Amino acid sequence: MPWELKADRPIYAQLIEQIELKICSGIYAPGSRLPSVRDLAREASVNPNTMQRALAKLEEDGLLYSTRTSGRFVTEDDNVIYQVKNKLAQEQIQDFLKKMKQLGFENKEILSMLKTMLEEVKR
């Protein structure tokens, strides 16, 4: 999953979202060790201080933890990861609903369209 950064929002906030996404999708597995700040900054082509700031926030949120000697790790607490996953899902759904409303659909219509779509995907 490449790093995608948009031009009109703070880079720091976008880095947080993308790392959350990488953790939720298992690219950074629970309990695994994260690359160093420098390597992550290089991978995302961003300023190392900005990356450091994003990681510090994720640590504060409990999604990452660091040990003094061996680096920074993803939490092993499934509950924390599940909560983040839920938060990300809700954001996606809110975004989707907003766009559907802009297109002029009512809740009922959205729901039935979604059901039909899901049926089709199943087949």
Residues 6+ apart with CB under 8 A from 94: none
Among positions 91-120, residues that touch another protein (CB under 8 A) are: none
Angle ∠(49,54,55) on CA atoms, nearest 5: 95
Q: CB nearer to another protein: give 8 or 120.
A: 8
Please name the residue that has the structure tokens 């700040």.
37
* Residue 57 is a binding residue for another protein (CB under 8 A): no
Nearer Cβ to another protein, position 36 or 107? 36
Q: Using an 8 Å Cβ cutoff, are 32 and 73 in contact? A: yes
Residue type, 109: E
Within 29-48, which residues bind another protein (CB under 8 A)?
38, 41-42, 44-48
Q: Based on the shown chain and the rule CB under 8 A, indicate whether residue 10 belongs to the binding site for another protein.
A: yes
Q: Is 5 in the site for another protein (CB under 8 A)?
A: yes
